[in-house]
Every structure is written in structure tokens, then in C-alpha cells.
Amino acid sequence: MLWGMKVYFKMTAYLKISNELIQFLLNSNRVPYFREYTDVSVGKSFGNIMIEDLGDSLPFIFWAGKKLDNRYCNIADKTAKFLINNFQHEGGFFRTSKKMKFLKTYNFDKMTDLSLGINLMYALTKDDFYLKASEKFFSALGDFASKRDGFIPLIHFKNLNLGLNFSTGKFGLYVEELCNLYNFTNDIRYLQSANNIIKPWIKSDFYKDNGLFPFLFQPKILKSLANIPFKRKFGFSIDSAMSSKANTNLVYGLNAIYKVTKDSDLYSILERWYSAVNDKLLDKDGSLYSVWDDGGYSKFLGCDHAVIDTFLEFYFNTKEKRFLNDAEKMANFWIKQQDNSGLIQQGVDEFNVCADPNMKYGDKPKYFRLDPQVDFSVVMMKLYQLTENEIYMKKAKKLIDGICKYHIFKSAFVDILDENKNKKSYIIETKFLFLILKALMFEEYNNNGRIYKDNTIRLLLRDR
């Protein structure tokens, strides 16, 4: 305890908050089990074990622990290994919840962030345990996808050999992580698998017609049936494009392959997507429509920061200034929404915030949500490191200061604030408490442009 206090008083303000937050997370969960939700008012977690959120949790404790306390690194390492040992099947895939065990299904949606987490832990530790777990998983995924022309269903019923084929481009995360695994190993099989998974998307009629990537449901008869409840719930059809993860994660994957191969055909696909975003989603003021199917439905900070980040990746890989200019245009729109508190409201007046009308606060633009603001602060730091424009660093720090003043509660944070900065709920998804470390470790990647010089830092600061 005395040693801990000596270290504590040498910390910066952000690192003090980080240290207290990690202690809160360890006290409110029973390690090695971290739970899906946390009631920050009483310091208790509950819900499912966070196996599928491994990528949104343990790597950040490990990363922060390298600066704060090596014991945090040891806890993250031991917990990650415990979860992988206990939830990875012999064949390579994972059991992601208790229900999965009895239904004998594989939920490929839930395994996306899990696979990212394994690769992040390897990047941080260089421990072959994580490399072998990743190879085991992605070898199984590559074999699975190769038998289905690259297509990965949302859920696969193992005993029936049947897939529930509702899928989105979020599975582009697998493509990106296959490229990372290729970079770790130089094993060409992983790059081949990445290219295979991309095929159904770039061959889709929707992409050919519109340049954007759709929600996808196969076969066509089931797609028509599924579209009825889908449209009733969301207000738009499956044959639509959402600016954020359904598109951006796939584009991150395409960009990762291009970075390795410099394939001209792949560049043309990325160029077409970029042009389609400009034509169909980007408004004149720099804001983006969150959904496109012949009209704009919503505008949301949580979608826009992801598109900004894709444009920054394009610029980083190509050095073409137009990508950076458009990223700045989008970022500058949201910077104008920043109020004196430093916080940025989640939506735009006269537009819904979220495409899902059932989402709490989804139709109220003047509220404040923790995670999108954290991610936007990181995007502004990326802009600063690429442009050296001081305004981005100042605005990022102002936003982080606002988060630390208004969202903080005791040693943790609340998710939602109303327009008057009043705390609306003390229940938060636990992963968001881990992910705020991306902002609180501000000084650790602000030195010497480390985001684009240190590949591990860059991998950590993605939002997928």
C-alpha cells in the first residue's frame, strides 16, 4: 500500500483516474470473471461473462498496467489465458455464452471482438500462447469460409450444419485480423482467407449498383421475409447501407489487405466506396447520414467518427491529401458542436440520433454518451498527429476533461447524460469502462506522434 501511494502521487491527473478506475473494475468484478454490465452506484457487475468482449477489455488493462502497475498486466494476462483455455473449443471456435453450450451453435458475430482481443494480447505480450490461439481460431474460420464461398453467417448450428445467414460487413473485422495474423506470421494462408471473405461483399449487387456495402441476408426468399420485421423495427430495409460498422469494418479489412498487397483492383474498390460516401452520405456541412437508401434518416457522432477514421487510414496508406481534407471536414463539423463543458452532443437538430428508434434517447440529439465521445477524442488526436494542427489536440483534451468532470462517478463513469449534464443511468456496459482508458492514456500516445509510429498503439486505438 505504501509503495502504491508513492507511485500515485507521481501520476498525472489522467493516470490517477485510470488507476482508480482499474481498481474499481477489479473490485466490482470477481476476477477472472468480468461481467457484461456494471452498476457504478454500488460498484457491482452482473450479467454474462465478457468472453466476447475480450478485445474491448483486457488489452487495455495490460496496456495501462505497463505505465501504472505491473500487477495489472499480470491480472490481464492470467485472465485472458483463463478465458481462452476455458472457452476455446478444440476445433478453434469459441463458446461465447452458456446458451451456446447447449444449442451447439457458433455465434460468429460475438467472436469478432474476441478474435481482435487475442491478436491485441499477442501484440502487447509477444507470448506464443496468444499466437497459437489466434492461429487455431483463424485456421478454423478460413476452412469454414472456404466451404461457403467466403460467406460467414451470423450463427451456425453445428449439428444441423446450418447457418442463420443474416450478416453485415462487421465481419470485415475478421479480414483485418487475418491481415494482422499474416503480419505476425508471414503465413500466406491467412491473407488468402482474408481475400476469400471479402468476395461476397465486393460481388454483391448492392455494392455494384451503389458503391456502398449493404446489410445482407441469404438466400433471397428468406431475405424478403426477414425484411418485414427488420423494416418495422428500424424504418429502413435490409437493402440499405449504414455508414458505421456495417460498412466501415469491412472497409478497414479491405484497407488492411491493400496495405499488404498494394493491389490496384482493391484500390479501385476503396476509391469507389470513398466516392459513394461523398455522394450519398456526406452532407454539405460535413455531417454524415447514418443510413442510406434514397434518403437520410439519422445523424450520429457514434457513426461519423468511424468514417473519419477510415479516411485517415486511406490517407496514411496513400498520402493522398483529399482523404485527409474530407476527414477534417467531418471532424470540424462535430468540433463546432462542442460546448463550454468540452462535451459534444450525440446528434444533429431535426434528425434522429440512431437508426434504431427503439434505442433509448435515440430521437433526442441533445444528450451525451460516453463511448462515442471517447472515440472522437482519439480521432482528434489522430488528426493532430497527421496534421500538427494544435486545434485538434486542444479540442481533444477539452473533451477528455469534460468527460472526466461530468461523466465520472466516484471511481467510475456513467454512460448517459441529459442535455443539462445530469446523470441518467448508473448501469453501464462494463466494456465501456475499459475502453475509456483509450482517452485517459492520452499522454502515453501524445508523445512524438506515437499513434502512427508504434503499430501496437495504433492497433489499440482502433474502434471496431
Hey, what's the cell of 403? 468527460
Q: Which residue has the cell 462515442?
A: 372
Measured over the CA atoms of residue 209, residue 215, residue 217 and residue 220, the dihedral's sign is negative
Give the integer Cα–Cα distance in Å for 455 and 180: 11
- Residue 283: Cβ-neighbour burial (10 angstroms; 0-12, 13-18, 19+): middle
Measured between alpha carbons, how far is 227 from 232 in angstroms, rounded to an integer? 8
- By the 10 Å C-beta count (0-12 exposed, 13-18 middle, 19+ buried), 28 is classed as buried
| Grid cell 486511406 in the structure block, residue | 314
Whether 338 contacts 373, CB under 8 Å: no
Mean pLDDT per 10-residue section of the chain, whose length is 464 residues = 38 91 95 94 94 94 96 97 94 76 76 96 98 98 91 80 74 95 97 95 90 78 75 77 88 95 95 95 91 72 91 94 97 95 89 62 76 95 95 96 96 93 93 96 80 91 88
Residue with cell 470485415: 172
C-alpha span between 344 and 451 (Å, rounded): 23
Nearest to 175 by CA among 274, 264, 251: 251
Q: At what angle do helices 111-125 and 70-87 cross, to 10 degrees?
A: 140
CA angle 301, 306, 311 (to 5 degrees): 120
Which three cell numbers, joined as nine digits, stand for 138?
A: 483463424
User: Of the candidates 274, 217, 266, 227, which has an alpha carbon nearest to the alpha carbon of residue 247?
Assistant: 274
pLDDT for the residue numbered 70? 96
What's the pLDDT score for residue 440? 94
- The DSSP code sequence of 255-304 is HHHHHHH--HHHHHHHHHHHHHIIIIIB-TTS-B-SEESSSB-B-BHHHH
Give the bridge partners for 344, in sequence order.
338
| pTM of model > 0.85 | yes
List all residues 6 or more positions away from 347 whose beta carbon is below 8 Å from its beta carbon: 298, 299, 300, 301, 353, 364, 365, 366, 367
Q: What local confidence, expressed as pLDDT, does residue 7 receive?
A: 42
Q: Name 292's Cβ contacts closer than 8 Å, sequence gap at least 6.
A: 210, 212, 240, 241, 243, 280, 281
Tally Cβ neighbours within 10 Å of residue 17: 21
Where residue 350 falls (left for φ over 0; alpha for ψ -120 to 50; beta otherwise) is left
Q: What is the DSSP string of 97-166?
A: SHHHHHHTEEETTTHHHHHHHHHHHHHHH--HHHHHHHHHHHHHHHHHHHTTTT---SEEETTTTEEE-E
